Structure 1
Amino acid sequence: MKNALRFILGFAIIFGGSADALAAPSAAGVERTQPWNAETSDLEPDASIIYGRLPNGLRYAIRPNHRPQNQVLVRMTIDFGSAAEAEDEQGLAHFIEHMAFNGSTNVPEGEMVKMLERLGLSFGADTNASTGYTQTQYKLDLPKADPRLIERALFLMRETAREISFDPAAVDRERGVILAEKSARENFGFQSARAANNLFYPNSFYATRYPIGTTEVIQSASAETMRALYRAYYRPDRIKIIVVGPVDPIAIERELAAKFADWQVDAPPLGVLDQCTLDTARGLSAQSFVHPEISESISVQQFLQDKKRPDTLNRTMIELKMSIANAIISRRMARRSREEDIPFLGASVNFNFGLCDQYAAIGYGVAGKDGSWRSLLAFTEQTVRQAVEYGFEESEIAEQIKRLDAQYENAAKDEGTESSGAIANALVTLDEDVYNSDKYRQILWRQIRPFMTKAAINAEFAFWFRQMERPQIFLTSKQGASIAADEIVAAYAVSRGAPIAAPMTRAAVRFAYIDFGPAGAVIADKTIADLGIRTIRFANGVLLNIKKTDFEDNRIRYSLRIDGGQLHFGKENAVLASLMSATYVSGGLKAHDVEDLRSILAGTTVSPAFGVADRYFGATGAVAPADLERQLQVMAAYTTNPGYSENALRLFRRPLPELYARLKATPASALAIAMSKIMTNDDPRFALAPLETIQAADFAMLKSTLGDALRQNRLEIALVGDVDEDAAIAAVARSFAALPTRADVGKDYSAQLQPAWSAQRGNFDIPHNGEANQLAWRRVWTTTGDHDQKTTQSMDLLARVTTLRLTDELREKLGATYGVSANSDMSNLYLQRGTFSVATAGDPKDIATIEATVDQVISALVKSPIDSDLFERARKPVLESYADWKKKNNTWLGVVAETQTNPDRLKRFRESETNFASITVNDLWELAKQYLDKPAEFTFRALPDEMVSAGEKSAE
């Protein structure tokens, strides 16, 4: 064993790949360096990433990448977060992050976001920031690799890193925004997390330094206090800049040197933030958190004294063995929950190194039905202990090995077209690890794989979880009184004393659905030349559309559409659409329970996918080319041989009482449920069905109503991506095209397409059971459906304009909300239905301000055309997005999915950019006058229950 490990370790070291980057020429004023954390690792860093450092200590990583083809992602991280805050500074790291967008030495307050919007970035989507315990991150997603745009992005990062103004008036204005954010987040879920952290991590920053901070500090901290903290921690030796996209690394280095090299800090380096102390000798203890709206759950955790474990081969092997073990336990629990009527809703096992640099964490969590915590605790504890005592079966391990084989192989094949976003995010969250290439990880896995034996995995899991003798147990429940710690500890002791039987061995099975009859014949094969879409028709009526691209290696995006969907069920059977969406796949196939099916599919990228959309049955997804035929076989089997397992029906019904009991638990949920009921006259196609109605739905009703729709209705398949066209056509011919003849025209559902809005109009106060300082608010104007592409695009742009105006007024000037948005929804199915709405959240005390401000903004939009600057700020990000729009497989799948059944979609696709570019300020003004120059038909206010009197409550 030692000799083999030494061979693997030597293999890893021989692969040295960073020398090329070090030897390559760089810009003046920067130094190329070894990859981050390479000095502590024996694993091979990815040689495609260029690492460097400025003389002042600022570090950078640059990764040339062309997926998407034009977009450049810029990230800046600062080793600073709430863990560094003193008692009277709680929340200031987050406050400083907010102030980055509120004025700097060279950018006036309110201009940074507008400047970015003029450059084609959309605030929130492309421009954002976040603060954690130990890191603050700023991100800019540039729409194109324009040198001027990149220069501006790095200029703004420099302004953020060193030049924030902290104008006292701006600080005061931002207090309201942060308090609104704090109010929106601190519901019973957040309170529960605080209580759990107090139990698990007492006296550590995890329990005492939440990034959102305290109300007292947010309300009172001075601009000067923030500036001092900013100056102390925002310093070049704590900053990393990450740039990913189609860039010239030397040009990026030159800009980094120009923007940051003159920044010098004389103060000595500061220490690390991610260290803390936990008492691993603590005895068994427990705590409960009770709230009338919270779900029943238990978390059991124990922390073990460990050591600092850098990213090495040894750590990788331990983590792989533990991940295999944890996956097997999760499968065991899922199978038992299907086969037995237990109050289980989900569980997971956790194992982690590196907590506070010196601890390992082991444990498990479980959720279930209300009042079931004792059985939940016993079920999970005994399942984990069973694995410790008896280990795992060869067949279980072999299944997980197959999954890992496929995972590493497909990742290596995909590597050439990995998205810039995935690369940037991995570098941002790297911490003390090394960024490896997927090809290297696959090679390393092949070397490690022989050591993933039953004996090794059993021993590793037992070594760690046998130490779980004195855990801390945290319980959440909606029971009326706090559950005593002694009661929880006693229940745990009873479970620990129960004898454990060995797990049952399950026999492997083969997939039963590979022969659907003689292959179907192709009777039509054409190509749409300007779009490169190949359209095929088989003798039995099956339609196939193929678009071959090189945007993603080793990936085929697929779509299956069978006419019907929600329209097939109609108003009278609408509840069956919900039943089918939730249970059809989990009902398995006649020959295979869904758990057996998942085992059969282990080692592939195939998923048992099938569901219900508004106008079709089917599925969308992605699969490796080698697995395409099996994916088609699985979907074909679901159309011909569904299992309708009663286990699936039981699992569907199990959480419903708890789900319905919590529909008013938050303002957003209460508003959404009530709004759909009120606006549609409680039409079951759009509103949530009563609990008794959905519980009464069963598979006999579903089968009767479905009839032969899945076998007979018109069917269209789309394949986009790395497609071998001949192989794909042959695979469809052997599966769907081998089945009986289908309809060649769509069903007529026109009678269902005229639903009316409710005649009940006006203001509706909706009670919620959440926090007393939380409000959800929405105002709705009715419009029309998606008859004309340019009109639909114009209404979307009007919504973007409205969002920008309301953000300026409600968030930036008044601090009355953390976020506000406008939205236009013009249905392309129900062509008489459309809405334009404004939604926000906040504190009920600010209702009058919110409503008055919305009225003022809408009135201004109706009164006169918007100014050209606002128009460009709303329009530019959309225009810029077209640069990569046609270079994404998901974009093409939306078109190719209905190439033969909806040719109008092709016309719209061709004209989309031209139509959008032709929209004028006056177009928006005319639409504002047409649809918004009237009182809104509906206004919904989700308020604390005690604020809504019994006579005024709506849609209880």
Structure 2
Amino acid sequence: MRIFQPLALAFLFSSLGANAASHDKRPFSMHPQAKQILAQDSTSWDQRLPFDDGVITGKLENGFTYYIRKNVEPENRVTMYLAVKVGSILETEKELGLAHFLEHMNFNGLKHFPKNELVDYLQRAGVRFGSDLNAYTGFDETVYQLPIPSDDPELLKNGLQVMRDWAQDALLDEEEINKERGVVLEELRGSRGAQQRMRDQYYPLLLNGSRYADRLPIGTEEIITHFEPTTIREFHQKWYRPDLQSIIVVGDIDPQMIEQEIKRLFADMKKPAAPQERKKYTVDLLDKNQFMVVTDPEMQYTVGQIIIKHPEEEVKTVGDYRRSLLKAVYNEMINGRLGELTQSANPPFLQAGVDIGEFIGGLDNLSAYFVAKPGAIAEGFKSVVRELDRVDEFGFTDSEFSRAVVSMHKNNERAYVERDKRRSDSYVNSYLAHFLKDNSVVSDEYRYQITKELLTTLTLSEVEAIGKQYYVDQNRDVLFLAPDKEEANLPSEATVNAWLGEVNHETLTAYEDKVSDLPILAAEPTKGSIVDRTDLSVIEAKSWKLSNGATVVLKPTKFKNDEILIHAFGPGGTSLYSDADYFDASNAAMLVNSSGLGQMSTVELQKYLSDKKANISPFIGERTQGISGAADREGLKTAFEMIHGYFTAPRIEDDVFQSTIGRIVSSMENRENNPSFVFSEAIQKSLYGDNIRRNPATVPDIQSIDQQKALAIFEERFADASNFTFMIVGSFTDEEITPLIEQYIASLPTQERDNAAKDLHIVEPEKGFEKVVHKGKEDKAQVRLSFYGDYDYTEAENLNMDALESVLSIKLIERLREDESGVYGTGASASYRKQPSGRYAFHIGFGTSVDKYPALIQSALDEIRKVKEQGPTQVDLEKFFIEQKRQHEVNLKDNRFWLNSLNEVLTNEEEFVSIVNIQEDMKKVTVESVKAVANKYLDEDQLFKFILLPDAK
């Protein structure tokens, strides 16, 4: 179960912009309601947005609400959500944390699934606990989610029964309640750290002293430990009632049948005779400005924030929706300017952003933030304010406005093109917001048409007016979060007011929008040719050999209407360079990718690509280098130009180089404050000594990077395309792709040289050991148990290792969480490789209290011992089989899965049939084969124990 805490940092709030949506030049028929509205004068903007006509919705006599929609993406799957308008905001002082605790209890005993039978039953059906089966508790709601297969009538029926049990039939057994206390306490313990400690201090100010500040969903240790079972039962009876609940069912189902089942299952739910009022709480505006500085010893960065609060503007009418588009345009343009500043030679901050959007408790806000460079808090703050003031004084340019609107047009088109491929989850989220917040829900057709038309009505002056409305000196909070050691350098409220005054009295100049009319490439390359074509019928793909020696593997699909994924690799990588050149080599692709390309600078390239779906990035790994990206049909030529450009015309700009190195060094300033970083660094050093290729880079390492050497290494790695393999997956035809391959791939340069990667022989020690690290204020422990060693890489071995990971994860959750109540989350993780030599790593991880970790380590090792001695149970193995089968069914219709699978097969020189033959291969996995793999690789001599404990007191 995930805990929903929506205010971790104010700059994480999202805006209420338009839904993104590929350029479709086909004629369309405007939705009648959109046509009617736009044919009238501006007063028609008061007309309410029409509800999505693709969903069946209704309310039973007892007040229970339902939403049902047929959607076949993914096929043979359905997603069900149960939403309850009950969160931590409704808790009394003696109930703090019980809304969240109750969410936990709905997985620990239901009328039709007592004790832990719910998780066990669904795992047998291929539903993954934590990723598929999940829930969260927020301030105002609790939401349960269950995606399941819909091609099994019995499972579908039982899925609806789960929803019914969640709605009102939790058993709330005292024994199960007492067992779950430890789990929730460990969740609370795991959440404690710098962010939580600081949040406890600034929430009352940020939330204007409202009830929200005292109602974090996780609750308090005192209440979780000591509440009486009758208290949670009374809370359940009081709030889990049909008039506060809704079921949302979207997927490959018969809507009429689902509607009848909902009526049958939920109509008998009863409301209390005298239901308690479900009060709506708000955050009131105080009509004053506030200021606060919060520090913590484990905070890694100094973050400054300006939050200007306003009454919430709901999106109910056409005019409201139009205003949301204006806000989205403002956000895009102001953030474009801040992004340019980060790419200057000496940027004033590490990162910054501005957002006009939703806040909480009936408020919206303009939120501006920056992450300060060390010793440059004033510079960062003033720079953000300066850009806001510059817009306030001069506005935006016509070219900025045009570019932002065109970009939104393109996004709208892309969403519309993919409307019949829209996944069920996105529909569920829309209906969830409608039930919980009364947000508008319009159809895909209507949204496309109304967005398309309204974008043409927006004016630059209206966008600028939005900025002036939100950027005001009232209801403004200024908040600084910083490491303890920065406390003496942090400003007072008087100092901040002085900074504001200084910027206000500066003589500002208007922004200059720099764009380029040049193409990416200075000249069109001379075409090459396709010299050989091979049909890969087993996976419905093909392989082409090009005249320059490069290989292209093509997998046309219809999984998306307009999505093309591209990945390419060639042998070599950083393995070919000495330790002295390692940091130049390992950072070269990042520096090139951060710069411009061909004839365009960084800023010019970003603006050129703003209205295109074309994104290509180079990489240099340890054993390979290559490119990766995506495009739609319209942007495909641009993507191929970028590929050719990275091979033939890369650049590392002076400003970008200085900016990037400076920001990386600045970001490293306080990382030793972070217990997670210290723990990770200690693990790497204990495993690999001082090997620079496995340890985090130091400040001198980054400062040693030479701009020209990095560019020379990049050019060298991409100078020979003859043994590169390009993979292209998605919605294209041979006729569309052939001329681009001939023009931009077959023309790439080649050299006669040996590009083979080197085996650096960097491996973990042969014998395990224990490493204890002390870092952190919180009284908690983090444990990682790891096994490393040589590995026999075969398809059968890999599947058995995956099965071992799965069955051991099940046992760890059952033992450490359910039986011993010692952890919130745990599991096993296996990884393995073939090149340069077969190696594996097998990890078990969990967080817990300092007093429990030794016993829990022994419990985890005991579960390993059982698997080694007895093998997994057949039941757990069957859970692995069905989960793999169900997941593979979905994967086979996903472009990203195919691209990753092709890359793995080609990199490891395996058979293509392995991608589709998993069901046959599964037959080779047995209790005995998994037992053998466990004994082979989980040898206690190769066990490494890594333990993070708090600072010694």
* TM norm. shorter chain > 0.5: yes
Among 193, 202, 210, the alignment partner of 2:208 is 202
Aligned to 1:739: 748
Q: Deviations over 1:828-865 (max 9, x none)?
A: 32423212221111222212122121121112122212
Among 409, 415, 420, the alignment partner of 1:405 is 409
Name the SS for the 1:609 alignment partner.
strand
Count the aligned residue pairs: 912
2:704 maps to 1:696: yes
Tell me if the contact between 1:310 and 1:432 (Cα under 8 Å) persists in the aligned partners: no
Aligned positions of 1:541-620 closer than 5 A: 541-569=549-577, 573-620=581-628
**Which range moves more in the overlay, 222-231 or 66-75?**
66-75
Would the alpha carbon gap of residues 554 and 908 (structure 1) be closer, same or farther in structure 2, given more than 3 Å must change? same
Aligned to 1:362: 366
2:831 maps to 1:832: no
2:443 maps to 1:437: yes
Tell me if the contact between 2:333 and 2:400 (Cα under 8 Å) persists in the aligned partners: yes
Aligned positions of 1:131-146 closer than 5 A: 131-146=137-152
Tell me if the contact between 2:651 and 2:711 (Cα under 8 Å) persists in the aligned partners: no
Would the alpha carbon gap of residues 681 and 175 (structure 1) be closer, same or farther in structure 2, given more than 3 Å must change? same
2:285 maps to 1:279: yes
Tell me if the contact between 2:345 and 2:654 (Cα under 8 Å) persists in the aligned partners: no
Tell me if the contact between 1:162 and 1:234 (Cα under 8 Å) persists in the aligned partners: yes
Structure 2: distance between partners of 1:675 and 1:286:
37
Q: How far off is 1:307 after superposition?
A: 6.0
Structure 1: distance between partners of 2:237 and 2:99:
12
Name the SS for the 2:701 alignment partner.
helix
Tell me if the contact between 2:34 and 2:449 (Cα under 8 Å) persists in the aligned partners: no
Tell me if the contact between 1:12 and 1:44 (Cα under 8 Å) persists in the aligned partners: no
Residue identity in the other structure for 2:453: Q
Tell me if the contact between 1:9 and 1:42 (Cα under 8 Å) persists in the aligned partners: no
Calculate percent identity across the aligned residue pairs: 22
Aligned to 1:468: 473
Tell me if the contact between 1:284 and 1:489 (Cα under 8 Å) persists in the aligned partners: no
Residue identity in the other structure for 1:764: K
Aligned to 1:26: none
Aligned positions of 1:382-421 closer than 5 A: 382-421=386-425
Would the alpha carbon gap of residues 458 and 852 (structure 1) be closer, same or farther in structure 2, given more than 3 Å must change? same
Tell me if the contact between 1:561 and 1:715 (Cα under 8 Å) persists in the aligned partners: yes
Aligned positions of 1:179-190 closer than 5 A: 179-190=185-196
Tell me if the contact between 2:586 and 2:621 (Cα under 8 Å) persists in the aligned partners: no
TM-score, normalised on structure 2? 0.91
Among 731, 740, 760, the alignment partner of 1:722 is 731
Name the SS for the 1:604 alignment partner.
coil
Residue identity in the other structure for 2:420: G
Q: How far off is 1:172 after superposition?
A: 1.2
Residue identity in the other structure for 1:344: F
Residue identity in the other structure for 1:298: G
Aligned to 2:128: 122
Structure 1: distance between partners of 2:64 and 2:147:
21
Would the alpha carbon gap of residues 490 and 463 (structure 1) be closer, same or farther in structure 2, given more than 3 Å must change? closer
Aligned to 2:770: 763
Tell me if the contact between 2:570 and 2:724 (Cα under 8 Å) persists in the aligned partners: yes
Tell me if the contact between 1:195 and 1:289 (Cα under 8 Å) persists in the aligned partners: no
Name the SS for the 1:625 alignment partner.
coil
Residue identity in the other structure for 1:299: Q
Residue identity in the other structure for 2:731: D
Tell me if the contact between 1:9 and 1:313 (Cα under 8 Å) persists in the aligned partners: no
Residue identity in the other structure for 1:504: Y
Aligned to 1:878: 884
Among 406, 414, 427, the alignment partner of 1:423 is 427
Structure 2: distance between partners of 1:821 and 1:307:
42
Q: Deviations over 1:499-547 (max 9, x none)?
A: 2412332343124235432222221123212321022222122322221
Among 354, 358, 365, the alignment partner of 1:349 is 354
**Which range moves more in the overlay, 869-878 or 97-106?**
869-878
Tell me if the contact between 1:79 and 1:134 (Cα under 8 Å) persists in the aligned partners: yes
2:710 maps to 1:675: no
2:303 maps to 1:293: no
Structure 1: distance between partners of 2:282 and 2:939:
59
Residue identity in the other structure for 1:592: M
Name the SS for the 1:611 alignment partner.
strand
Q: Deviations over 1:179-204 (max 9, x none)?
A: 11111112111222333322121322
Would the alpha carbon gap of residues 53 and 632 (structure 1) be closer, same or farther in structure 2, given more than 3 Å must change? same
Q: Deviations over 1:527-586 (max 9, x none)?
A: 212321022222122322221111111111221223333434465543234412432211
Among 293, 305, 315, the alignment partner of 2:320 is 315
Q: Deviations over 1:207-231 (max 9, x none)?
A: 1110111111111111111111111
Tell me if the contact between 1:667 and 1:774 (Cα under 8 Å) persists in the aligned partners: no
Would the alpha carbon gap of residues 874 and 899 (structure 1) be closer, same or farther in structure 2, given more than 3 Å must change? closer
Would the alpha carbon gap of residues 42 and 939 (structure 1) be closer, same or farther in structure 2, given more than 3 Å must change? same
2:640 maps to 1:632: yes
Aligned to 2:21: none
Aligned positions of 1:728-807 closer than 5 A: 728-741=737-750, 747-749=755-757, 751-752=758-759, 754-758=761-765, 761-768=768-775, 770-785=776-791, 787-807=793-813
Aligned to 2:115: 109
Name the SS for the 2:718 alignment partner.
helix
Would the alpha carbon gap of residues 869 and 898 (structure 1) be closer, same or farther in structure 2, given more than 3 Å must change? closer
Residue identity in the other structure for 1:246: D
Among 23, 28, 34, the alignment partner of 1:12 is 34
Tell me if the contact between 2:573 and 2:717 (Cα under 8 Å) persists in the aligned partners: no
Residue identity in the other structure for 1:341: N
Tell me if the contact between 2:297 and 2:673 (Cα under 8 Å) persists in the aligned partners: no
Tell me if the contact between 2:565 and 2:895 (Cα under 8 Å) persists in the aligned partners: yes
Among 332, 335, 345, the alignment partner of 1:327 is 332
Q: How far off is 1:123 after superposition?
A: 0.8
2:350 maps to 1:380: no
Would the alpha carbon gap of residues 506 and 539 (structure 1) be closer, same or farther in structure 2, given more than 3 Å must change? same
Name the SS for the 2:79 alignment partner.
strand
Name the SS for the 1:654 alignment partner.
helix
Residue identity in the other structure for 1:913: Q
Aligned to 1:21: none
Aligned to 1:339: 344
Q: Deviations over 1:94-113 (max 9, x none)?
A: 00000111112232212211
Residue identity in the other structure for 1:326: N
Tell me if the contact between 2:816 and 2:822 (Cα under 8 Å) persists in the aligned partners: yes
Structure 1: distance between partners of 2:251 and 2:217:
31
Structure 2: distance between partners of 1:938 and 1:898:
28
Structure 1: distance between partners of 2:318 and 2:389:
28
Name the SS for the 2:783 alignment partner.
strand
Among 42, 45, 53, the alignment partner of 2:51 is 45
Q: How far off is 1:417 after superposition?
A: 0.7
Q: Deviations over 1:285-319 (max 9, x none)?
A: 34433435341011111223x36634222222222
Q: How far off is 1:753 after superposition?
A: 5.4
Name the SS for the 2:176 alignment partner.
helix
Residue identity in the other structure for 2:353: S
Aligned to 1:236: 242
Structure 1: distance between partners of 2:790 and 2:294:
51
Aligned to 2:536: 528
Name the SS for the 1:845 alignment partner.
coil
Would the alpha carbon gap of residues 10 and 906 (structure 1) be closer, same or farther in structure 2, given more than 3 Å must change? closer
TM-score, normalised on structure 1? 0.91
2:222 maps to 1:222: no
Residue identity in the other structure for 1:660: M
**Which range moves more in the overlay, 236-245 or 926-935?**
926-935
Q: How far off is 1:485 after superposition?
A: 4.0
Aligned to 2:655: 647
Q: How far off is 1:84 after superposition?
A: 0.8
Structure 2: distance between partners of 1:64 and 1:121:
21
Would the alpha carbon gap of residues 779 and 663 (structure 1) be closer, same or farther in structure 2, given more than 3 Å must change? farther
Structure 1: distance between partners of 2:321 and 2:792:
53
Provide the alpha-carbon RMSD of the alignment.
Answer: 2.6
Structure 1: distance between partners of 2:767 and 2:494:
52
Residue identity in the other structure for 1:318: R
Tell me if the contact between 1:378 and 1:492 (Cα under 8 Å) persists in the aligned partners: yes
Aligned to 1:29: none
Residue identity in the other structure for 2:816: L
2:502 maps to 1:503: no
Residue identity in the other structure for 2:806: R
